[in-house]
Amino acid sequence: MTLTEAQQVTMPWDGALFDGTWKAAASTVDVVAPATGQRIATVGAAGVDDLDAAVRSATEAQKTWAALTYDQRAKVFRRASALLAEDPDRLVRWLVPESGSGMGKAQFEVGLVVAELDECAGITSLPYGELLRSSKPRLSLARRVPFGVVGVISPFNFPAILSMRSVAPALAAGNAVILKPDPRTPISGGLALAELFAEAGLPAGLLHVLPAGADVGAALVAHPGVPCLSFTGSTAAGRAIGQAAGPLLKTVHLELGGNNALLVLPDADVDAAASAGAWGSFLHQGQICMTTGRHLVHASIAQEYTAKLAEKARHIPVGDPTDPANPLGPIIDERQRDKVHALVTASVEQGATLAAGGEYDGLFYRPTVLADVPKDAPAFTEEIFGPVAPVTTYETVEEALEIINSSEYGLSVAILTSDAFKAFELAAHIDSGAVHINDQTVDDEAVIPFGGVKASGVGGRFGARASLESFTEVQWVTVQSEIERYPF
């Protein structure tokens, strides 16, 4: 799994950007593994001039791509899916060191990418319009047409799938794409995906990958040649993008943060609940928008639940994820680690009890359980984005629902109980884009309309037909056999 210097120099993105071919960049940036601090690659660093050139190229290439028949476009996605399914290590070997993914998480993520490619092959053949009634003797129809060029800005945590979830459906709908991956994960979040598409036969100029910082991101948001934007990241950054794009009257899809609640009802199996809670809070070091950030446990079982959850936390190995024995790897960088620790420390100072963890070695933060967390403590009210499980008790279901809905976020909620139908009835009273009954909060599939409400997202949804609607706009067309005559 460790990348040697000899392996690095054979990579096509060495010092390069992607515009359908590998193009030498004017400047470069080192890609560093957070677990070791070692350089694992050097890639091209894009500037605003590179963005302008990419938009011009993409605008021209998109016209030919959109004119292809659906089966010609579908062939690219089927081929890309097959290539990745045959050789998942082409992506795993970058996800593990670059994003700090445990081996299991990386393999799971590759499976999500394969499923997304498969689903997008099907998107190309979906009905893309409807016949409409008209008061005139004419044909009246509404059809979905591509925007032209879609800008995608993706995050570091699940870099491959959170890039592909926008890139693939946008391409399938007939658009070209400019992708700016997070500068900490430019390979697994962009360049390795570009290599896959190129090998699958995607025509040159349709996908551009520009590793860059915030300056190029801001230029992408403001660019007049990019009418649609898809951003996945923090709520704070999403608000800034929405504010910048609003006056430009662009279509903007924002998939943002979450502070997701796990509601454990008093009749739940405590052993099973603790297992679900541990997975929801600790998977990929808690660096997931759907991570379980609030454990709401009925007072009658809270002590037992917390003890079981803490026991699990104490026995989860944490270390360099290139060792398959370590399911959890590092926090992405020191800034994020310090934020996580500050939230834990401040919450303990406000009255929470440290039941497990609360310690780190370098970027390796121990899975942490906080008991008796006050409802106004920062670990309970804020998105942590770290391996922390805050536990708070409640007495009545009404109280629990009020706590859940009091958050500004609304991405994912889970309910654990022996009465699934009762939980289904409760779901109608929860402000959330997803509600999972007898599962934890982290879940996604290529075939579902994924997205949040409130501060967790705005704009289109991802998945199946929702993706087609997100990356196209409606055109109304009428047809008459003769020219209409008017009294003028």
Domain ranges of the chain: 5-256+456-476, 260-437
The pLDDT of residue 253 is: 98
Burial of 389 (0-12, 13-18, 19+ CB in 10 A): buried
Structural contact between residues 430 and 477, judged by C-beta atoms closer than 8 angstroms: no
Half-sphere exposure of 216 (CA within 13 A, CB side): 25
Q: Which helix (H) or strand (E) holds 465?
A: helix 464-470
Half-sphere exposure of 28 (CA within 13 A, CB side): 13
Structural contact between residues 474 and 142, judged by C-beta atoms closer than 8 angstroms: yes
Q: Which helix (H) or strand (E) holds 79?
A: helix 70-86
Amino acid at 268: A
Parallel, antiparallel or unpaired: strands 472-479 and 139-146: antiparallel
> Domain 5-256+456-476 falls in which CATH fold?
Aldehyde Dehydrogenase; Chain A, domain 1 (3.40.605)
pTM of the model: 0.96
Query: How many other CB atoms are found less than 10 A from the CB of residue 194?
Result: 25
Over the chain (488 residues), the average pLDDT of each successive run of 10 is 46 94 95 97 97 98 98 98 98 98 97 98 96 97 98 98 98 98 98 98 98 96 98 97 96 98 98 98 98 98 98 98 97 98 98 98 98 97 98 98 98 98 97 98 96 96 92 98 95
Determine the Cα angle at 328 with ends 316 and 361, to 5°: 85
The pLDDT of residue 10 is: 64
The pLDDT of residue 228 is: 98
The pLDDT of residue 9 is: 46
Active site residues: 255, 289
Task: List CB contacts of 487: < 8 A, sequence separation 6 or more.
Answer: none
Q: What is the dihedral of CA 262, 265, 268, 272, to 10 degrees?
A: 10
CATH architecture, domain 260-437 = 3-Layer(aba) Sandwich (3.40)
CA distance 454 to 477: 35
CA distance 160 to 177: 15
Q: Tokens 């960088």 label which residue?
A: 333
**Could you tell me the sign of the dihedral formed by the alpha carbons of 183, 338, 107, 447, in that order?**
negative
The pLDDT of residue 5 is: 42
Task: List CB contacts of 359: < 8 A, sequence separation 6 or more.
Answer: 365, 366
3-state secondary structure of 261: strand
Burial of 10 (0-12, 13-18, 19+ CB in 10 A): exposed
The pLDDT of residue 8 is: 46
